[in-house]
Amino acid sequence: MSSVMRKSSFIIPSSSSGESSSPIFHHLKKPISSSSSPSSSIASLPVEPDPPDDLSSHHLLSILSHPKWQKHPSFQKLIPNLSPSHVSSLFNNHPDLNPNIALQFFNSLPLIKPGFKHTVKSHSFLLKILIPNNLFGVGEKIRISMIKACVSVDDIRFLLDFLRQMNRDDNDIKFKLSVRSYNELLMMLARFLMIDEMRRVYTEMLNDMIVPNIYTLNTMVNAYSKMGNIVEANLYVSKIFQAGLSPDSFTYTSLILGYCRNNDVNSAYKVFNMMPNKGCRRNEVSYTTIIHGLCEAGRIDEGISLFKKMREDDCYPTVRTYTVIIHALFGNDRNLEGMDLFNEMRERSCEPNVHTYTVMVDAMCKERKLDESRRILNEMMEKGLVPSVVTYNALIRGYCEEGRIEAALEILGLMESNNCRPNERTYNELICGFSKRKHVHKAMTLLSKMLESKLTPSLVTYNSLIHVQCKAGHFDSAYKLLDLLKENGLVPDQWTYSVFIDTLCKSKRMEEACDLFNSLKEKGIKANEVMYTALIDGHCKAGKIDEAISLLERMHSEDCLPNSSTYNSLIYGVCKEGKVQEGLSMVENMSKMGVKPTVATYTILIEEMLREGDFDHANRVFNQMVSFGQKPDVYTYTAFIHTYCTSGNVKEAEGMMARMIEAGVMPDSLTYTLLISAYERLGMAYDAFNVLKRMLDAGCDPSHRTYSFLIRHLSKIKLMKENSHLEQLDLVQSVTFFNAADVWKIMQLETALELFEKMMEHGCTPGVNTYAKLIIGVCKVGRWGVANSLFNHMIERGLVPNEDIYNALLSCCCELRMLSSARD
């Protein structure tokens, strides 16, 4: 009894007259002798395990036995669940299947099931049915289709093994490779940059006495050109001449690409210019390739000049031509020109593709125009274009850099809902975003999600996680991550250790930081300016100026150049000790070393001069920095405002604030808070609330410290009313001697409501952020009752609490061991 009969006996009862009496075998069995059995070498190729019974090869075989199997009810039911592995299993278990039915079944699936794609393996098992039946013509088509079905390096390796076995003269199933198959195989290898295999296949082609044609040699030229290996590319160009063939536009365009990849744009230009003399028409690809090379070399204007000449050569810019130049313009801060070109391409009916839109999304994010970036994303989706993971990642990075993590997570949800799988870059961007906001647990949760998605964390991933743990002061967890990255075969780099040393110094763990720094040499890590600067800064803040200067000298001896931050740390250190002249001398030294003093450098000096009351000298340094082309920033102006406010000179402070706004420098939360504090100390509450109004109108979010001064004023008034019976001296003592930080310990709900009322009187509507600052303030000192009352009050007003509010309430409950309230 044959293998087909044995495998299908549970469906078709055996007959005493033999297998030929059953009509199924006349329909399905291949009409060849047993001498044509497949070779053991090809039959041994791996195949997926047999599927469940309802989709097993036996069940499929029984359905295919029917003359009109395509319309069979059982087949129609199976279609939604059929996969390439079922096809492989059927052909592998039934190699004597009628080849015509096998081919019909194979060809029908992509037509009747949308999205169905045969794999390299399902092709291979069909070929093992077709070739023994001498169906070489259709076999050639299936072999070409098999080559094109490769989607991974593993597919390519399986394909090469299979084709080489069938190509062998001593194989039972012999199917020699044709010139077309060789060409398709070389093109597929080129797509996966498998250059060594290409060279080997080319040699095998020659050994098979197959004469390479222009397509063969062009494929070799193009592959080496893509790698920038112009020497090998020209070697195959010479083979074109040796074969009596002529290079064509594809050949020369490949060489242009090769020279550009080899950073030799001038040679690429020579090839481009000589094409007409060689009788080769320059096409859109030729132009786009040389334009791309010019843009990559920073010669954008030359690229644009060629772009404008394309029509003279009867060539018209493609979407890629436009995209290449748009990308270059935005990458070189020529944003207006980039936007104009983007609009021009649409006016010329050249519709942007996914890559064009991705360039635009990324450019808008870099300009911090996140709303515009999101609008562009929506526009491309409305046009039916599917954003790539690169598109989504650009927007996620933009949101993360601006601290808008919730918006970044929304984009993550959008990409997952659109079946776009996040990659390592996606998670790295989000982890960095959480790191900036010190959301340690959320960052670690993303690591878990990354591993669940079968993604491998990179060194960037671990460095980001180490950074967030160190910033949060969780050094034990950071060291565990360091061990974990080593266990996973990764090697810590300069950035890894820079994070440790920098955060250890900032946490005043100087001895630990120094020990780690001194161990770097044996680890093979060269100390960089970040590490030195962190140690110098740490020593300066600890008052150890001599140790800091010694580190600077060691830095020079090891050819590690100090930067402005290094010198600024030293200048800050000596100024902190009141040695302004030494600070000024260091500014001269850094200039001699070719390090330009920054705004921060001058601001450090100004702060110390103001602290010493030397306003004249501070103003001279201020004017000097402006004359040197350094624009004072918010910290510079705030240094003056702080000094004026401390001395109660609010008129000068207001003047300086007006001056900074006129200069285009916007005050920050600290600047406004200093003014509010000064007015509050002077008892000028009306002016303090007016500053709050200006602050909110400017889009500057008040901090909890801002509100603390206003609450302190209201608390003083309340205490004075409650203690009006006391003697004047006792009354003053009872309301004066508590600082702004203590207000959270004494603030009552009534005071908070009065604050809201006063805000409303000045045109400031208390919002979610107002409630958040107050709730966080009282939660930090364990005053759950007031926090809960404020929470209920905002709910009554129809406001939706944000994440910070919930986190503060939960933290407070846990600190007070109010676990039932925390669960609620």
The predicted pLDDT at position 41 comes to: 43
Model confidence at 727, in pLDDT bands (50, 70, 90)? low
- Pair 78, 52: CB distance under 8 Å: no
Task: Tell me phi and psi for residue 29, to 5 degrees.
Answer: -75, 140
**Residue holding tokens 């010493």?**
612
Distance CA 251, CA 281 (A): 11
Distance CA 603, CA 558 (A): 30
Alpha helices in 243-388 (DSSP H): 249-261, 265-274, 284-296, 300-309, 319-331, 335-347, 354-366, 370-382
Tally the residues of the chain. 824
The predicted pLDDT at position 125 comes to: 96
The predicted pLDDT at position 738 comes to: 58
User: Among the listed ranges 393-402, 486-495, 721-730, which one has the minimum average pLDDT value?
Assistant: 721-730
| Long-range CB contacts for residues 518-525, cutoff 8 Å, separation at least 24 | 523/492, 523/497, 525/492, 525/493, 525/494, 525/497
Please report, for residues 260, 479, 684, the alpha-carbon distance to residue 765 in angstroms, rounded to integers and kept in the order given. Answer: 60, 47, 21
Look at residue 170 and tell me whether its pLDDT is greater than 80. no
Task: Tell me phi and psi for residue 43, to 5 degrees.
Answer: -65, -20
The predicted pLDDT at position 44 comes to: 46
CA angle 164, 168, 172 (to 5 degrees): 115
Burial annotation 383-411 (CB, 10 A radius, 16+ → b, else e): eebebebbbbbbbbbbbbbeeebebbbeb
Give Cβ neighbours of residue 701 (< 8 Å, ≥ 6 apart): 669, 769
Look at residue 317 and tell me whether its pLDDT is greater than 50. yes
- Pair 268, 260: CB distance under 8 Å: yes
The predicted pLDDT at position 74 comes to: 83
CA-based torsion, 106, 108, 109, 111: positive or negative: positive
The predicted pLDDT at position 11 comes to: 28
| Among the listed residues 583, 582, 630, 577, the one whose alpha carbon sits nearest the alpha carbon of residue 604 | 583
Please report the DSSP string for 522-547 in residue order.
Answer: HHT----HHHHHHHHHHHHHTT-HHH
Beta bridge partners of 97: 29
Model confidence at 724, in pLDDT bands (50, 70, 90)? low
3-class DSSP state for residue 29?
Answer: strand
Three-state SS sequence of 689-718: HHHHHHHHHCCCCCCHHHHHHHHHHHHHHH
User: Among the listed ranges 9-13, 163-167, 202-206, 665-669, which one has the minimum average pLDDT value?
Assistant: 9-13
CA angle 35, 41, 46 (to 5 degrees): 120
Model confidence at 438, in pLDDT bands (50, 70, 90)? confident
From the centroid of its chain, how far is CA 452?
19
**52-76 pLDDT, tens digit each:** 445 677 888 888 888 888 888 888 8
Percent of the chain scoring above 70 in pLDDT: 90
User: How many other β-carbons are positioned within 10 Å of the β-carbon of residue 240?
Assistant: 21
271-291 average pLDDT score: 94
Distance CA 794, CA 771 (A): 7
Give Cβ neighbours of residue 283 (< 8 Å, ≥ 6 apart): 249, 253, 315
Percent of the chain scoring above 90 in pLDDT: 78
Look at residue 764 and tell me whether its pLDDT is greater than 50. yes
Q: What is the dihedral of CA 13, 17, 23, 26, to 10 degrees?
A: 120
The predicted pLDDT at position 171 comes to: 67
Look at residue 736 and tell me whether its pLDDT is greater than 70. no
Model confidence at 259, in pLDDT bands (50, 70, 90)? very high
Please report, for residues 370, 386, 390, 412, the alpha-carbon distance to residue 376 in angstroms, rounded to integers and kept in the order given. Answer: 10, 13, 14, 17
User: How many other β-carbons are positioned within 10 Å of the β-carbon of residue 634?
Assistant: 17
Please report the DSSP string for 474-501 in residue order.
Answer: -HHHHHHHHHHHHHTT----HHHHHHHH
279-307 average pLDDT score: 95
**559-593 pLDDT, tens digit each:** 999 999 999 999 999 999 999 999 999 999 999 99
Model confidence at 39, in pLDDT bands (50, 70, 90)? very low
Model confidence at 92, in pLDDT bands (50, 70, 90)? very high
Give Cβ neighbours of residue 109 (< 8 Å, ≥ 6 apart): 82, 87, 116, 118
Query: Which DSSP letter does residue 97 get?
Result: B
**328-361 pLDDT, tens digit each:** 999 999 999 999 999 999 999 999 999 999 999 9
Beta bridge partners of 29: 97
Tokens standing for residue 683: 């008892």
Distance CA 1, CA 19 (A): 7
Please report the DSSP string for 717-746 in residue order.
Answer: HHHHHHTTTS-HHHHHHHHHS--GGGHHHH
Distance CA 783, CA 781 (A): 6
Burial annotation 133-157 (CB, 10 A radius, 16+ → b, else e): bebeebbbebbbbbbebbeeeebbe
Alpha helices in 149-264 (DSSP H): 153-167, 179-191, 195-207, 214-226, 230-242, 249-261
Distance CA 267, CA 258 (A): 10
**382-431 pLDDT, tens digit each:** 999 999 999 999 999 999 998 899 999 999 999 999 999 999 999 999 99
Look at residue 730 and tell me whether its pLDDT is greater than 90. no
The predicted pLDDT at position 824 comes to: 62
Look at residue 51 and tell me whether its pLDDT is greater than 90. no
- Pair 377, 387: CB distance under 8 Å: yes
The predicted pLDDT at position 55 comes to: 61
The predicted pLDDT at position 430 comes to: 94
Tokens standing for residue 717: 């008034």
- Pair 789, 750: CB distance under 8 Å: no
CA angle 195, 201, 203 (to 5 degrees): 105
The predicted pLDDT at position 2 comes to: 34
pTM of the complete model:
0.70
Model confidence at 182, in pLDDT bands (50, 70, 90)? very high
The predicted pLDDT at position 193 comes to: 92
607-628 average pLDDT score: 94
Task: Tell me phi and psi for residue 400, to 5 degrees.
Answer: -65, -40
Amino acid letter, 614: D
CA-based torsion, 79, 83, 84, 89: positive or negative: negative
Give Cβ neighbours of residue 145 (< 8 Å, ≥ 6 apart): 118, 123
The predicted pLDDT at position 5 comes to: 30
| Among the listed residues 445, 361, 437, 374, the one whose alpha carbon sits nearest the alpha carbon of residue 401 | 437
Please report, for residues 285, 292, 307, the alpha-carbon distance to residue 318 in angstroms, rounded to integers and kept in the order given. Answer: 9, 13, 10
Model confidence at 771, in pLDDT bands (50, 70, 90)? very high
The predicted pLDDT at position 822 comes to: 59
